[in-house]
Amino acid sequence: MAVFRQPGTVLTDHTFSVPLDHADPGGERIEVYAREVVAAGRERDSLPWLLFLQGGPGGRSPRPLGRDGWLVRALDDYRVLLLDQRGTGRSTPANRQTLPLRGDATAQAEYLAHFRADSIIRDCELIRCRLLGEDGQWSVLGQSFGGFCALTYLSFAPHGLREAFITGGLPGLGTTAQEVYRAAYPRVENKNQRHFARYPQDVAATREIARHLREHRVLLPNGGSLTAEAFQSLGIMLGAGTGSHSLHYLLEDAFVPGDGDRRLSDSFLSAVQGHLSFAGNPLYAILHESIYGQRSVSRDCTGWAAQQVHLGHPQFDVDQALSGDGPVLFTGEMIYPWMFTTDPALAPLRETAHLLALREDWPDLYDASQLAANEVPVAAAVYHDDMYVDAAQSLATARSVGSLRTWVTDEYEHDGLRVSSGRVLDRLIRLVRGEA
């Protein structure tokens, strides 16, 4: 168990052995890694624990650089545990290099079916008992998908929690993947409209880049294909507070300067690859739609829901846009089947992803009756203009959960926890304590 110091903090590595399938505790086991963070000088203090659940799915926990970000506030009161959810970071990996060792695509899909929120929360409970004892309780902070996990925690193991903080992560309790995307496309279109109103010169830029990609085969530095549709998916940037500005700066350097043949610049292609490659978080793409699967809501498969719903929104069609004079609209937090062809990190997992998209009868992730009777204090930040999580669905859920208070704000976007230097977390802490 390694212990090391950074400015203002002391960090301790923890590794836990957990069952792959919690219904079979004597079967195969995997490892889950977590990093403990405590304020320097308070290592021996009896501090309450705060478990952090990262967004995703498939996102590893933050790698702190001293007392930074929301830790500025958290470490005033808590000993923090940054969890690498199963399959991510330093936990037993699940990616194109390791999954083929499981066997064929069917075996890989069966393995990955154990990587949703229900399994993650059962991991958390084993870890809680190891660190705090059977009767110990801790707090949980869930960002985005981590908030989804927090609701699963409140559904099936509320006895382990003393309080819960959720930022941009209240899901629709009875919402199918198709309904999620039917609500998402209009929000993404609105973000596009705001972007092009702010940067009207980007209308011509997006058209020129998309037309170039239609007429030329363009490869990214990693060998992946940059298609017009892949270019559109840069719109995922529009959900962050400074995302529109960052996207504009990316577009303005797209082509090599000069009067000769127009070529996309190396700097542009390198930056685009950083935004589009799933090499660092393949589970985000593979499991993305499965996080909405629940048999009590629908026993049908998720079936590439984002692609299905896309067909009903022709304003996002590249060729239709190029036939007119408007911008090529960016898409958002959507996963499409073609990504498993264009991205080298996903291509070997294409059949596995397809099997998961066709999987039916997913176990429930939430218990509506338990949530209605919930007595664990909960505070949730709902971002009014959140591009990733629908605010209306979040507020409907908030009304269905006992002991939950919301803070609805348009001061921050989905990344408010990360960029607010602890102000978002402080507001939620004060809500739980009745100070706000």
Q: Reply yes or no on whether the pLDDT at 258 is more than 90.
A: no
Query: 60: which DSSP letter?
Result: P
Q: Reply yes or no on whether the pLDDT at 259 is more than 70.
A: no
Say if CB 148 and CB 117 are below 8 A apart.
Answer: yes
State yes or no: is 414 an active-site residue.
yes
Q: Reply yes or no on whether the pLDDT at 391 is more than 80.
A: yes
Q: Measured between alpha carbons, how far is 330 from 227 in angstroms, rounded to an integer?
A: 13
Work out the pLDDT band at 41, boundaries 50, 70, 90: very high
Q: What is the mean pLDDT of residues 151-161?
A: 98
Q: Cα(first)–Cα(last) distance of the chain, in Å?
A: 39
Query: 63: which DSSP letter?
Result: -
Residues 56-70: tens digit of each pLDDT: 999 999 999 999 999
State yes or no: is 361 an active-site residue.
yes
Residues 108-141: tens digit of each pLDDT: 999 999 999 999 999 999 999 999 999 999 999 9
Q: Count Cβ atoms below 10 Å from residue 202 Cβ, excluding itself.
A: 22
Q: What are the structural domains, with CATH classification, of the chain?
A: 3-173+366-432 (3.40.50.1820), 177-358 (no CATH)
Residues 181-209: tens digit of each pLDDT: 999 999 999 999 999 999 999 999 999 99
pLDDT in the model for residue 436: 82
Q: What is the mean pLDDT of residues 231-251?
A: 98
Q: What are phi and psi of 61, to 5 degrees?
A: -70, 160
Catalytic entry in 144, 155, 244, 298: 144
Query: 87: which DSSP letter?
Result: B
pLDDT in the model for residue 197: 98
Q: Measured between alpha carbons, how far is 385 from 2 in angstroms, rounded to an integer?
A: 42
Q: What is the mean pLDDT of residues 28-35?
A: 98
Say if CB 174 and CB 297 are below 8 A apart.
Answer: yes
Work out the pLDDT band at 97, boundaries 50, 70, 90: very high
Work out the pLDDT band at 1, boundaries 50, 70, 90: confident
Q: What are phi and psi of 415, to 5 degrees?
A: -90, 20
Query: 325: which DSSP letter?
Result: S
Query: 48: which DSSP letter?
Result: P
Say if CB 406 and CB 432 are below 8 A apart.
Answer: no
Work out the pLDDT band at 261, boundaries 50, 70, 90: confident
pTM > 0.95: yes
**Structure-block tokens of residue 302:** 């998720």
Catalytic entry in 414, 415, 420, 426: 414
Say if CB 199 and CB 244 are below 8 A apart.
Answer: yes
